[in-house]
Structure 1
Amino acid sequence: MQGLHLIADLYDCRGPAALMLDAARLEVYCVDACRRHGLTVVGQLFHLFRDEHGQGAGVTGTVVLAESHLAIHTWPEIGAVTLDVYVCNFSCDNSQRAEALFAEVTQAFVPAKIERNAVRRGQLAAS
């Protein structure tokens, strides 16, 4: 249960529009990024939201990892992204992998402002 949960809100994103609006492209990018950083992909689901005119209006997606997950949500109309990377450290410490993945995905969106939090989860108190 011990792990690292990284959470960020990205504002004024200036990266490729396709990452904000193309579910298939964002899915391929996120899955490949997880693998590049040594995490084990066991599934994924990405969905494109459409506005009343049928145009793309943002993507929500999750990559399920043996180590836990990556979740991402885009709001292209306001240039914002929320990112969530959680890894457990049961069999080994995956914290550096999580930090590297988080940094890469954050940088891909080229945000002007980042609000980031890191939560150590499942820390057991000494008896």
Structure 2
Amino acid sequence: MNSMHFLGEWFDCRAALTALRDPEAIRALCVEHVMRHHVSIAYDFFTLSAHRGVIGAVMADDLHIVVRTFPERDAVNVDLYAAPSHGTDVAGMFQLLAGLCDDFRPARTVLHRVQHGTDTMPASRVPIAPTQTFGAERWRAA
């Protein structure tokens, strides 16, 4: 299985501070972006974290997205995993991340990608060097 796993770190987010603390608002954004890709959601859960941010997840058969906000630092962490059974591809996953990124409006981003089950190493995880940018545009699909 050649799945995709992206770990995004978004810094200096210009979304309203109240939005970074609102589980229902962040849930609505995540559900909207997942549904745009015609993926049936099996489960979602969003709540306040111990640090007055939000932690939440949307899960489907072969996809999950986990979002954690840090309002005191204007930061967001995003974890997106997708297996190819839903016809997902890298471009589609970048579109999903780009849509969320547009909503949080970070000034700086770091994106880590882990490739699972490549042809040369079928049962392994292959880390790929992080792409660091000081504007969100460079890591998005063209």
Structure 2: 5+ residue stretches without partners:
123-142
Partners of 2:121 and 2:50 in 1: how far apart?
50
Tell whether the 8 Å contact from 1:37 to 1:100 is kept in structure 2 after alignment: no
Secondary structure, in 3 states, of the residue corresponding to 2:118? Answer: coil
**Structure 1 residue 28 and structure 2 residue 28: aligned?**
yes
Identical amino acids, percent of aligned pairs: 25
Distance 1:22 1:91, change over 3 A: closer
How many residue pairs were aligned? 122
TM-score, normalised relative to structure 2: 0.77
Q: Distance in 2 between matches of 1:106 and 1:22?
A: 17
- 1:86-111: CA deviation from partner (whole Å, max 9, x where unpaired): 10013534333211101111121110
> Structure 1: how far apart are the matches of 2:48 and 2:81?
23
Q: 1:78 to 1:5 in 2, by over 3 A?
A: same
What 5-or-longer segments of structure 1 have no aligned partner? 52-56
Question: Which residue pairs with 1:11 in the alignment?
Answer: 11
Q: How does 1:1-127 map to 2 (within 5 A)?
A: 1-49=1-49, 57-90=52-85, 92-125=87-120
The one of the two structures with greater contact order (alpha-carbon pairs below 8 A, sep at least 6) is: 1
Query: Taking structure 1 as the reference length, what is the TM-score of the superposition?
Result: 0.85
